[in-house]
């Protein structure tokens, strides 16, 4: 059990993230654990993963195409996007694509180099669960939701951009 | 001029608080250097030779007198009484103390200013023609769109961590005075056959290590689609731009790799999904922003009033200044005044607190309280009555603002170079000064006519040396400062990248090389031919021969 931030609060979590070791090998996964696996493993053998006792979810690397998951989105319990470095902003576009283009409505989790200063943007583009990086303050990260109380753009959370709301309310 | 409403104020205040918290966490050791660096850069804070450098945004170069007074106050209270205007219409403070930067930001917020995204790998300050709104050749006043882009780009959640910095420039006039072809995105206001207004979209320009003139990805984008199209371009760049090598991370490299047609097709594909979405601009939205940029209540005045004509005839120094440092205005009886920040002996673009206060006062007294920053690093009073010009000239002289050299060889665009910048190969300020001193004779300078001279202290090209008619680049040769000269570059509607004329020069030899180049020009020019035109016509060889001739 480990804590993450989900839907605005600290939550207990049992999902394991499957990552390759330095040799590119994947550790074995027990049949009954809930596991988030890389896209490549999922695409290689969906049926086997679906047949396990535990649940299976998928994580995307920043250079992967969410379209490859489009057909499975309805059946996946969770989708995650990895942020290998917080300065790698590709995952923000992936979040929006998953939500807005492929209409994914389930849990969207940010993994990796994720901490308080990124939460607001991640939430805006559609992420609702955050695995806070080890060593970073988890409870403190909750304040990241409220860093900004308004924004200019059309986002997943507030599709009508500020300029429209301004003019309409005049 | 745009005025903040409650929401704009709130966003900027929240940004100040966020940055204050980040700075405190860095100073207390909670944030590592590698974590803080990208966060502080996104707020315009570099750590330089002597101290941090804070770059404050001047959105599309628009300044109100009260804002300039605030900048003067900041220069006095937190810095050494001066600041520096940049080629992207921003202003930099060279000596603030890190721990006090949040206080500076708080003071800026009081006058609707900030340092948001003035550096870092995000969308930077949008720039435009310094004469927007008053130029005679304007197709459409671009400022409403600049403000719309400013808001769209400010804290955009999807594009906070791009592969590299991203610069957008907008031009609304026939002549491009915003260097749009050397920006990541250049937007040109155009009309199509039916008279509809739209943008020609140029992508992938930029200087730096790999100078490239941008290419057209869309000939005509109806204005209402501006933001959805920008979202599409940025998304393609964000996803596919290189992140493995920072020297190959600008959008220009992606466009080259995909070819402009391939890139345009990818954007079009992305745009299909975004087009006509909620970010589509309605007429009422544009009208809302345009309402901030209406003309001031101009007086109805005759052109060329007698008091002006008389002084012009009797005082050659005034006539000279009038010719060089003022520009025609769309309103009869008015001109725009350029306050030259290129006085010999003062680093190009530097301005003292006292000068800022003075210019702010003149803006109030003579010009509806507004000023502009030109990307050539000069300050502009956009709306001055012709009958007041003589008085403005005298005041400008008293503050060292009236060197009549705008557009001439000594109006050098120059980066801070080795005196301030830790990336520099060579100093730029003393060399620029040596050139200005060499060409200090006004008759000679006027005779040489319009010449853009641009100077960068290293290949990052902050001084845009590639597009100077004559460019200087600082290079390092075994730890010594050397200078490479390029000829034939130009900005504007026909942007070209200059060519290196040959081996670089020791510092002391640069002014002499300039003198020889100018001598060739004077010998070779035909009637009325500008320097750049002569260079284009006769090519580089005659210049090379003279400059590198062996002495016997
Ligand atoms: C002293 C601190 C400064 C530092 C450390 C710095 C650093 C850099 C770097 C690294 C680049 C290249 C980025 C790239 O090509 O991706 C760059 C570009 C640029 N800088 Fe600076 N700069 C400084 C000051 C200035 C100043 C004072 C100006 C204006 C006079 C300026 C204007 C520019 C411009 C216009 C570019 C873009 C050139 C292009 O089109 O590629 N910079 N700067
Ligand atoms: S061109 Fe080079 S030396 Fe000049 S400011 Fe830019 S990084 Fe510094």
Measured between CB atoms, which of B11, B158, B284 is closest to A92?
Answer: B158
- Residues B383 and B334 sit within 8 Å (Cβ to Cβ): yes
Query: Helix %, strand %, coil % for chain B, to 5?
Result: 45, 20, 40
Chain-chain contact of B160 with A101 (C-beta, under 8 angstroms): no
Question: What 3-state class would DSSP assign to B515?
Answer: helix
B414 in ligand 2 pocket by Cβ < 6 Å? no
| CA separation, residue B11 to residues A143, B37, B212, B263, B502 (Å) | 16, 22, 36, 34, 51
Contact between chains at B35 and A86 (C-beta distance less than 8 A): yes
B164 Cβ closer than 6 Å to some ligand 1 atom: yes
Asked if A166 and B5 come within 8 Å (Cβ–Cβ), the reply is yes
**Residue B456 CB less than 6 A away from ligand 2:** yes
pLDDT per position as a tens digit, B81-123: 999 998 888 999 988 998 899 999 999 999 999 999 999 999 9
Cα of B299 to nearest chain A Cα, Å: 31
Residue of minimum CA distance from atom 31 in ligand 1: B462
Residue-wise pLDDT for B242-272, tens only, equals 999 999 999 999 999 999 999 999 999 999 9
Ligand 1 binding pocket includes B182 (Cβ within 6 Å): yes
Between CA B548 and CA B273 the distance in angstroms is: 58
- Give contacts of B35 with chain A, Cβ < 8 Å: 86
Comparing CA positions, the residue from B392, B482, B496, B417 lying closest to residue B452 is B496
- Cβ contact A161–B235 (<8 Å): no
Q: pLDDT, tens digit, for every residue of B57-78? A: 999 999 999 999 999 999 999 9
Burial B465-500 (b: 16+ CB within 10 A, else e): bbbbbbbbbbbeeeeebbbbbbbbbbbbeebbbbbe
Q: Kindly report the pTM of this predicted structure.
A: 0.93
Q: Which of B155, B159, B288 sits opposite A166 (nearest CB)?
A: B288
Which chain A residue has the Cα nearest residue B281?
A: A164
Please give the full DSSP string across B207-258, using - where no structure is assigned.
Answer: -TTS-B--EEEEEEEEGGGHHHHHHHHHHHHHHHS--S-GGG-SHHHHHHHH
Please give the residue of chain A at the shortest CA–CA distance from B282. A164
Distance from CA of A144 to the nearest CA of B (A): 10
The share of chain B scoring above pLDDT 70, in percent, equals: 99
Give the sign of the dihedral formed by CA B386, CA B89, CA B144, CA B2: negative
pLDDT in tens, B281-303: 999 999 999 999 999 999 999 99
Distance (Å) of CA A65 to CA A6, A93, A155: 24, 10, 20
Say whether pLDDT at A1 is over 80: no
Tell me the sheet residues that pair with B481: B476
B492 shares contact with chain A (CB less than 8 Å): no
In this predicted structure, the answer to whether residue A105 has a pLDDT above a threshold of 70 is yes
Q: What is the ipTM of this complex?
A: 0.97
């Amino acid at each position: 059990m480990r804590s993450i931030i989900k839907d605005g609060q600290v939550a207990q979590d049992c999902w394991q993230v499957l990552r390759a070791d330095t040799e590119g090998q994947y550790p074995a996964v027990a049949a009954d654990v809930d596991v988030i696996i890389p896209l490549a493993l999922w695409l290689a053998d969906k049926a086997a993963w679906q047949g396990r006792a535990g649940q299976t979810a998928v994580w995307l690397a920043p250079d992967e195409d969410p379209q490859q998951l489009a057909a499975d989105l309805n059946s996946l319990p969770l989708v995650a996007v990895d942020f290998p470095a917080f300065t790698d902003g590709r995952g923000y576009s992936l979040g929006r694509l998953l939500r807005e283009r492929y209409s994914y409505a389930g849990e969207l989790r940010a993994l990796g180099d994720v901490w308080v200063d990124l939460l607001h943007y991640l939430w805006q583009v559609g992420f609702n669960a955050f695995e806070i990086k080890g060593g970073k303050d988890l409870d403190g990260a909750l304040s990241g939701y409220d860093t900004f109380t308004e924004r200019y753009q059309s986002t997943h959370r507030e599709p009508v951009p500020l300029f429209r709301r301004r003019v309409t309310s005049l | 001029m745009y005025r903040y409403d409650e929401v704009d104020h709130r966003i900027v205040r929240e940004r100040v608080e966020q940055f204050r918290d980040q700075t405190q966490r860095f100073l207390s050791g909670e944030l590592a250097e590698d974590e803080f660096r990208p966060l502080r850069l996104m707020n315009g804070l570099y750590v330089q030779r002597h101290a941090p450098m804070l770059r404050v945004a001047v959105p599309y170069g628009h300044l109100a007198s009260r804002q300039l007074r605030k900048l003067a106050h900041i220069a006095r209270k937190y810095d050494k009484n001066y600041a520096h205007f940049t080629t992207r219409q921003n202003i930099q403070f060279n000596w603030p103390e890190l721990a006090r930067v949040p206080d500076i930001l708080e003071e800026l917020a009081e006058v609707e200013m900030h340092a948001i995204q003035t550096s870092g790998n995000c969308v930077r300050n949008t720039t435009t023609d310094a004469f927007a709104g008053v130029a005679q050749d304007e197709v459409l006043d671009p400022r409403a769109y600049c403000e719309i882009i400013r808001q769209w780009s400010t804290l955009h959640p999807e594009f906070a961590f791009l592969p590299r910095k991203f610069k957008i420039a907008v031009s609304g006039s026939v002549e491009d005075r915003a260097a749009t072809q050397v920006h990541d995105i250049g937007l040109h206001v155009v009309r199509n056959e039916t008279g509809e207004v739209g943008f020609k979209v140029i992508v992938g320009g930029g200087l730096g290590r790999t100078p490239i003139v941008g290419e057209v990805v869309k000939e005509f984008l109806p204005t209402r689609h501006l933001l959805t199209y920008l979202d599409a371009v940025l998304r393609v760049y964000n996803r596919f731009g290189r992140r493995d090598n920072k020297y190959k991370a600008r959008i220009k490299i992606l466009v080259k790799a995909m070819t402009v047609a391939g890139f345009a097709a990818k954007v079009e594909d992305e745009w299909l999904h975004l087009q006509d979405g909620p970010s589509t601009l309605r007429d009422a939205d544009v009208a809302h922003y345009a309402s901030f940029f209406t003309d001031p209540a101009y007086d109805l005045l005759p052109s060329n009033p007698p008091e002006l004509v008389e002084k012009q005839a009797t005082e050659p120094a005034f006539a000279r200044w009038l010719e060089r440092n003022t520009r025609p205005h769309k309103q009869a009886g008015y001109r725009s005044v350029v306050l030259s920040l290129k006085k010999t002996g003062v680093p190009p673009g530097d301005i003292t607190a006292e000068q800022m206060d003075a210019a702010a006062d003149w803006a109030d007294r003579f010009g509806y309280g507004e000023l502009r920053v030109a990307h050539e690093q000069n300050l502009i009073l956009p709306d001055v009555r012709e009958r007041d010009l003589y008085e403005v000239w005298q005041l400008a002289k008293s503050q060292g603002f009236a060197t009549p050299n705008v557009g001439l060889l000594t109006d050098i665009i120059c980066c801070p170079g080795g005196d301030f910048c830790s990336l520099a190969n060579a100093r730029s300020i003393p060399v620029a000064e040596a050139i200005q001193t060499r060409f200090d004779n006004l008759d000679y300078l006027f005779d040489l006519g319009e010449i853009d001279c641009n100077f960068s202290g290293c290949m990052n090209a902050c001084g845009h040396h590639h597009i100077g008619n004559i460019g200087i680049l600082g290079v390092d040769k075994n730890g010594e400062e050397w200078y490479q000269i390029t000829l034939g570059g130009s900005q504007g509607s026909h942007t070209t990248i200059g060519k290196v004329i040959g081996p670089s020069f020791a510092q002391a030899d640069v002014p002499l090389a300039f003198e020889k180049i100018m001598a060739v020009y004077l010998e070779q020019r035909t009637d009325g031919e500008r320097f750049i035109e002569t260079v284009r016509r006769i090519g580089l060889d005659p210049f090379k021969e003279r400059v590198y001739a062996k002495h016997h």
